[in-house]
């Protein structure tokens, strides 16, 4: 059923902090600091949560970080709101959601250390009534898609 597709970006976890980064957080390891309140997405409901918990396990810091976890959420918008209202100091959330809260938080750039990689693709389906238009659109996405998706935070 796939006529064509193009890879345009990534959905990935990012470390986000209160605007201005008042606690001076530089990486995931800092989430072990006892002076921080942290919120994460619940791995029972969230792929991002699963990825974060796996990374914390791999680094051997999960127990220390969990001592600082104030909230486990089901939704990434909740994480953005917690930062915006200064209820927590740091969260790990999807990059695209962080972009929607860009006026209320800062993303701390960290190396991509997750075992999983989630690519964003735009796909055209073969059963379209307008295959030439789909091909044109996919061509446009091939030329402009990666730039546009990066502008909206879909990078790893």
User: What percent of the chain lies above the pLDDT cut of 90?
Assistant: 96
- Does residue 24 sit in the same domain as residue 71? yes
- Does residue 57 sit in the same domain as residue 101? yes
Mean pLDDT of 108-118: 95
Give the number of domains in the chain.
2
- Does residue 126 sit in the same domain as residue 104? no
Q: Quick check: is 113 in a domain? A: no
Sign of CA dihedral 135, 136, 137, 142: positive
- Does residue 124 sit in the same domain as residue 96? no
Residue 59 pLDDT more than 90? yes
- Does residue 78 sit in the same domain as residue 144? no
pLDDT digits (tens, 9 = 90+) for 39-52: 999 999 999 999 99
HEC profile of the chain = CEEEEEEEEEECEEEEEECCCCCCCCCHHHHHCCCCCEEEECCCCCHHHHHHHHHHHHHCCHHHHHCCEEEEECCHHHHHHHHHCCCCCEEEEEHHHHHHCCCCEEEECCCCCCCCCEEEEEEEECCCCCHHHHHHHHHHHHHHHHHHHHHCCCCC
Mean pLDDT of 17-44: 97
| pTM listed for this prediction | 0.89
Q: Quick check: is 88 in a domain? A: yes
- Does residue 19 sit in the same domain as residue 62? yes
Q: Quick check: is 156 in a domain? A: no
- Does residue 75 sit in the same domain as residue 142? no
Domain span including residue 140: 2-8+118-151
């Amino acid at each position: 059923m796939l006529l064509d597709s193009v890879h345009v970006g990534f959905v990935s976890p990012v470390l986000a902090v209160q605007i201005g980064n008042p606690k001076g957080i530089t990486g995931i390891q800092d989430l072990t600091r006892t002076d921080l309140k942290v919120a994460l997405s619940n791995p029972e409901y969230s792929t991002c949560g699963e990825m974060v918990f796996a990374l914390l396990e791999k680094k051997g810091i999960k127990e220390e970080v969990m001592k600082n976890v104030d909230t486990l959420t089901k939704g990434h918008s909740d994480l953005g709101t917690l930062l915006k209202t200064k209820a927590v100091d740091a969260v790990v959330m999807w990059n695209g959601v962080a972009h929607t809260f860009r006026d209320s938080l800062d993303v701390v750039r960290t190396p991509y250390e997750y075992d999983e990689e989630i690519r964003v693709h735009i796909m055209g389906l073969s059963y379209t009534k307008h295959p030439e238009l789909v091909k044109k659109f996919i061509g446009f996405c091939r030329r402009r898609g990666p730039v546009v998706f990066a502008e909206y935070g879909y990078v790893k």
